[in-house]
Chain A
C-alpha cells in the first residue's frame, strides 16, 4: 500500500447577521411562515432593481479584516447566470472579478505548531430560496432569497482532514466572535464544501478533484474528507481513473455519494452587474469597521493564560462567547482570575444552563462579582455556602454580604472565637489528640468535624484547620 498526499481546499458560505436582505429591505429571518419575508425585489419581479445593504458591506469588510485579507478599494458585482427554481432572477448577483477580500489567512495550531491556512478570496453574494421536495412537486419558499452571504475560499493548501477541521473551527470562532454570522451549521447559516484530490509526490501535478457539497457539520467535513481520500486511494491502487465530480456526504451511510460528474464545465456567462455600479471602499469605512471588532479568541486565550487561568478553563471560556465577554471585563481588575473562571464555569454556568439565561441577563454586576470572588478567596464564603445562595446572588441586587446575612450564613472568621472553641475541643478529646500525634490522619478530620459541629458549620474551614494544626503542635 503506497502513501498518497491529499490536497484539500474548503469553500464556506456564511449568512451574515443583518436585519435586512442584501439587495432589498425585507427581513433577514429564519424559521418563519413560508413566503412571509419577501418583497417584489426578492421575487425577481419585472422592473425591480437591487439596492445594496450598507451593513453587508461593513460585515464583509469586518470578515476580510479578521481573516487577514487585503480589501479591494473599488469593487463591483457580477451576474452568475443559470436557471434553477431556487434562483428567482435566474441569475445570482455575486462577485466574480472583484471579490471584496483576497490573499488572507487563518492560523491554526496543529501538534503545537502554527500553520497558516491561506484564503484565496472572499466575496459577497445573495442566497437562493429554499426548496422542499414533495413527491412530484417542489415547493418554493422565498424567505431565504436574498439573504446576504459571504463565501470564503481557501487555497488548496491543506493536507489532512485534521487541518480542515481545525480551519473550520477557527473560522467559525472568528466569524462568530466578530458578530459577522451566527454560524449555525444545523440551520444552514454556515455551509461547507470540500475539494479533495490526492497525489503520490509533492512534485506531481494535482490529482483529479472531487468536490463534496453541503456538509452538515464540521465533524462530518472531517469524516467525508477521510472517506473520500480512502475512496480515491483505492481507485488509484486499482489503477482506475475517475472524472472530476461533485459528491455529497450521506449522513446515514457515513460516506460520500456521487451527485454529478462535471461535464464540459459550467457556462455561467459572468458579466458585471449593471444595476450596481462600482462600490468604493474608503479607508474611513475600513477604520470605522475595525473599531467594531472585539478582542478575538486567540488574544483572549493568551490573556487568560497570563492571568493564571488553567488551559481547560481558558478553552471553555472562549467557547462560550458571552461568558468570555463577561470575563473580559475583569481583565484589568485586581482580583483572583482563577477563582473567577472557576465560578463562571462552575456554579454560575450551572445556574445559566438551568434557567436558560445568559450571564448578562443576571444581576451579577462586575462589582458584585468582584465582591463574590474576594469573599470566596478569603473563605468567608465556602463553595458549599455558594451553592445554597447562587440563585439569590444571580437574581437580586443585594451585596453578597447582605445575602449571606439574610440567609444566616455567617462564617466565624474571628480568629479568637474559633481558637476558643478549638481549645475547648482539644481539651475534651485528648484521645483523638493522641491519635493525631501518633500519625492517625483520621483523627484530625474527627476534630475538625467537632469544630464544625460546635460552630454549627459557620467556622471558616480553612481558618479553623490552620488554627487546629497550630494548637495541636
Chain B
C-alpha cells in the first residue's frame, strides 16, 4: 500500500486513527528514494535517526496536521549532527553543531527529516549541475535538468518520494526548479522565514521556502516555518497567520498586472501561449488582466550580478580550512593554507562567482557599481510598490524555457542568470513569489507560472494559485520510467 501520494488530510486521518504509523511513512519514503536513486535527489539520508524518531512518535499524540510526516531539507540548511555539505567538497564532511531555526520549527511539529537534498554548490547555479555530487535528474525526463539551485528538493517532490521539502531562493532557486519539475514552490517575503542556519549565499536575497506537490500542502508548510526569530535581525515581526485561509476563495474582481517584459521575446513562444491561455481563464473567472510597463525590472539581472556576487564573495570567505571543513594537506604557511584550501575545496562556478564578487567590490568598482546597484535596487522595490497600489497580483512565466538537457553546455557564465531573468526581480524587491504549474510543452515538460504579490501577501498568492490548480486540474505525477530509455 502506498501512502505518500495521498493528500495530507487523508494521511493525517490515517495517522490519527492509528491505521498507519509514522514508521510506515518513513519506510515508504526511503523505499521511494531507493527506487528513484538514479534521480540523485539526495546528498545525505538520515535513515537511522529518522527511523528512531518515527518509533518514538508512536507513543505521542498526533497533535498537528504535519505530525509524523517525512520532510526533505535542502543541504544548505544546517541540521545538528546531520551532515550539511552545501553540495561542496569544502563541507563534504561537515557536521553542524546547531540546528537552523526552520529545522527547530520542523522538529517541534514532529515532522521527520528524511535527508538532505542535492543542489547547486552553495546554491550557485540554476541547474544543480554545479553540485560536487553530480546533478539531480528531472523525473519527467531523466535526461533533463531539474533546475536549480533547489534541484534535489524539486526532484524528490515531483517524483512523489514524499510530500514536503524545503528549498532556498536567492534568485529563483525555488520557483525555477519548481517550474521545471511541475510542482508548487513558494519564495516567501524577505523576512518571513528566519535565515538563521541557512548557509548564506547572498544575505539580502536569500529566503527559505516550501516545495510541495500542491498549493494547500505548501501553505501548511509555510505555516510551520515562518515567524519572527530573535537570531535573525532581518526576520519580520509580522504576525504569523494561517496561510491556508484564502485557499479556494474566488478571485472575482481581482486585478492582475502582466509586465510587458515578462512576455517579451526573451520568453519561449510555447510558454507565452500557455500563459495567455491561463490569462484567458483568469479573465473568465472574473479577474481583470492588464499589460503594464515597469521600470528597472530589465536591470534586475545586472543588479543581481553585482549585489549577489559581492555578498557571496564575502559570505564564502569564512571557508578557509581553519575552524571547520576541508583543509589542504601540509600547507607551508598561512597563505598556502588559504589559497590551496579554497582552490581545492570550491568548485569552478563557486570560485568564478567569488572572483566576480571580489572584483566588483574591489578598488573603485564598489563606488562605480555596487553602491549604484543598491540605489537602483531601492527604486526598483518602490516601482513594485507602486504597481501594487493598483493591482493585487503581478504574474508572468516563471522561466523563459522549459527544462533543458543535462548535457547542454554550462560554460557560458551568463546563461545561468538568463535562466532566472524572470524570477530575480522578486528577490531584488524582497517580495513573495510562487510557481504554479499551468501545463506542458509539446515534449510533455512542465510549464510554470509565477504569481507575485505585495509584501506579506502570501495568503493571497495561495488564493489565486489554488483557484488555478483546481480549474486546470493537471495530472502532475510523472510516470515512473517514462521518457527514460
Contacts and interface: CB of A to CB of B under 8 A. Distances in A.
B438 interface: no
Find the residue from A44, A47, A276 having the highest chain B CB count within 10 A: A47
Contacts of A85: 322, 334
B233 A269 contact: no
Nearest to B203: A274
Given A140-B322, A271-B361, A45 B314 contact: no
Given A274-B311, A275-B234, A47 B361 contact: no
A379 B196 CA distance: 71
A40 B314 contact: no
A370 to B, nearest CB: 50
Main secondary structure of the interface of B (DSSP, over half): loop
B98 interface: yes
B323 A81 contact: no
A89 B313 CA distance: 12
A79 B315 CA distance: 10
Interface in A370-389: none
Given A89-B318, A271-B366, A51 B97 contact: no
Interface string B57-84: 0000000000000000000011000001
Given A51-B233, A271-B370, A43 B323 contact: yes
Nearest to B310: A271
A188 interface: no
Nearest to B339: A83
B362 A90 contact: no
Interface string A260-282: 00000001011110111100000
Contact of A47 (B196, B230, B370): B196
A346 interface: no
Contacts of B203: 274-275
A46 B199 contact: yes
Nearest to B90: A46
Contacts of A206: none
A327 interface: no
A45 B100 contact: no
B116 to A, nearest CB: 13
B347 interface: no
Interface string A194-230: 0000000000000000000000000000000000000
A332 B96 CA distance: 61
A52 B231 CA distance: 10
A46 B311 CA distance: 14
A338 to B, nearest CB: 55
Interface in A67-106: 79, 81, 83, 85, 88-91
Nearest to A24: B231
A274 B318 contact: no
A101 to B, nearest CB: 22
A90 B311 contact: no
Contacts of A45: 78, 96-98, 323-324
A130 to B, nearest CB: 14
B410 interface: no
Contact of B97 (A40, A272, A276): A40
Nearest to A140: B322
Contacts of B91: 46
Interface string B90-102: 0100101110100
B358 interface: yes
B409 interface: no
B195 A49 contact: yes
A91 B361 CA distance: 13
Given A81-B317, A81-B361, A47 B96 contact: yes
Given A46-B86, A90-B318, A275 B361 contact: no
Given A46-B91, A49-B232, A274-B203, A269 B323 contact: no
Contacts of A267: 362-363
B320 A83 contact: yes
A271 B319 CA distance: 19
Nearest to A142: B323
A44 to B, nearest CB: 5
A136 to B, nearest CB: 10
B200 interface: yes
B338 interface: yes
B204 interface: yes
Task: Find the residue from A52, A140, A274, A276 having the highest chain B CB count within 10 A.
Answer: A274
Most buried by B among A44, A269, A276: A269
B37 to A, nearest CB: 28
Interface string B366-381: 1000100010000000
B318 A277 contact: no
Given A51-B231, A83-B338, A271-B361, A46 B322 contact: no
B348 to A, nearest CB: 20
A50 interface: yes
Contacts of A270: 361, 366
Given A267-B363, A270-B366, A49 B314 contact: no
A350 interface: no
B422 interface: no
A365 interface: no
B197 interface: yes
Interface in B230-253: 230-234
B162 interface: no
Given A81-B317, A85-B322, A49 B233 contact: yes
Given A85-B334, A269-B358, A274-B204, A51 B317 contact: no
Contacts of A47: 77-78, 96, 100, 196-200
A276 B196 CA distance: 13
A90 B204 contact: no
A97 to B, nearest CB: 9
Contacts of B323: 43-45, 88
A429 interface: no
A465 B204 CA distance: 85
A81 B314 contact: yes
A271 B77 CA distance: 25
A124 to B, nearest CB: 15
A269 B198 contact: no
A83 B324 CA distance: 16
Contacts of B370: 271
A322 interface: no
A83 B84 CA distance: 24
Contacts of B198: 47
Interface in B278-334: 310-311, 313-314, 317-320, 322-324, 334
A45 B361 CA distance: 23
A54 to B, nearest CB: 12
A320 interface: no
Contacts of A91: 314, 317
A48 interface: yes
14 contacts: A43-B323, A46-B200, A46-B318, A47-B96, A48-B197, A49-B233, A81-B313, A81-B361, A85-B334, A91-B314, A271-B314, A271-B361, A272-B374, A275-B234
Interface of B: 77-78, 84, 86, 91, 94, 96-98, 100, 195-200, 202-204, 230-234, 310-311, 313-314, 317-320, 322-324, 334, 338, 358, 361-363, 366, 370, 374
* Top 9 closest pairs, chain A to chain B, by CB: A90-B317, A269-B361, A274-B204, A274-B203, A47-B197, A46-B199, A47-B78, A44-B318, A89-B318
Interface of A: 40, 43-52, 79, 81, 83, 85, 88-91, 138, 140, 267, 269-272, 274-277
Given A45-B78, A79-B314, A275-B203, 16 more contacts: A45-B96, A45-B97, A46-B78, A48-B196, A52-B233, A83-B338, A88-B318, A89-B317, A90-B317, A90-B320, A138-B334, A269-B366, A270-B361, A271-B366, A274-B234, A277-B233
